[in-house]
Amino acid sequence: MLTKNNIKLIRSLEQKKYRTKEGVFVAEGPKVVGDLLDAMRPRKVFATSEWISGNDTRGIDVETVSEEELSRISFLQHPQQVLALFPIPTNEESDDYTETLKGKLTLALDSVQDPGNLGTIIRIADWFGIETILCSHETADVYNPKVVQATMGSIARVRVIYTDLPQTLSLLKQQMPVYGTLLDGENIHSKSLSQEGVIVMGNEGKGISPSVSGIITDRILIPNYPEGRHTTDSLNVAIATAITCAEFRRRATE
């Protein structure tokens, strides 16, 4: 039976300070929970009998709940059979990621603040085989329930590291190109692109900050069509990330 303490705990996890205090985050739905179960052991699972009957729950602390009880703890408008509490991984912040990122494409997010955008970008990174995302400390928290849900399980396969972004990029710049999407950049479709480096994506409203733009070695632009036509000022950051990653990966097949 779902207790008041469990309800209070789970609802509190909507806020970062309580996620940090408890060391857990919330994942919901068969897809997201299923992918995370392949990667880590949950602290606790709350699920309907329908979900439990269709999944291997040996060695997992599972509590059976009704649909009505699930709706009391869910952050979704339409709860989806299962809600699980997973431990927040302890990622030690390092001053030098050069060795682990060498030979790979990496994303860097400069103050991306919308949880939906962050979750979608993590999903995009997973699709294009990008294993690591570096985030400024001003970027939305990856364990926000809205972010976790938007990843659709990709959070289990993409490492997200919060760091002093200008400092980290300055170190990486010595070993690999640092690309940035900027309005004064070179057309991404004609520019030479490497399969090693960091791709920086900026804030939804302000773009890449001055402290980061000065570090960028290769400025790129997604052009609008036709050239010179009056159009919107910018693309959504998640859409821009998808277009950019697709172009980098397309070049790898040429």
Q: What is the pLDDT of residues 16-43, one digit of tens each?
A: 999 999 999 999 999 999 999 999 999 9
Which residues make beta-bridge pairs with 85?
Answer: 26, 44
Whether omega before 226 lies within 30 degrees of 0, making that bond cis, reads yes
pLDDT at site 213: 96
Q: What per-residue confidence (pLDDT) applies to 226?
A: 79
pLDDT score at 89: 87
Low-confidence ranges of the chain (pLDDT < 70): 91-97, 254
CA 237/CA 118 separation, integer angstroms: 9
pTM for this predicted structure: 0.93
Q: What are phi and psi of 111, to 5 degrees?
A: 65, 40
Output the pLDDT for position 252.
Answer: 81
The pLDDT assigned to 99 comes to 79
CA 239, 80, 159, 164 dihedral sign is: positive
The candidate with the shortest Cα–Cα distance to 133, out of 105, 153, 159, 113, is 159
Phi/psi at 127 (5° precision): -60, -40
pLDDT at res. 228: 73
pLDDT of residue 57: 92
The share of the chain scoring above pLDDT 90, in percent, equals 88
pLDDT score for 231? 79
Beta-strand relationship, 132-136 and 159-163? parallel
Q: Please give the Cα distance from 125 to 104 (Å, whole number).
A: 12
Q: State the amino acid at position 173 in one-letter form.
A: K
Q: Residues 6 or more apart from 63 whose CB is under 8 A from it?
A: 2, 6, 44, 45, 46, 47
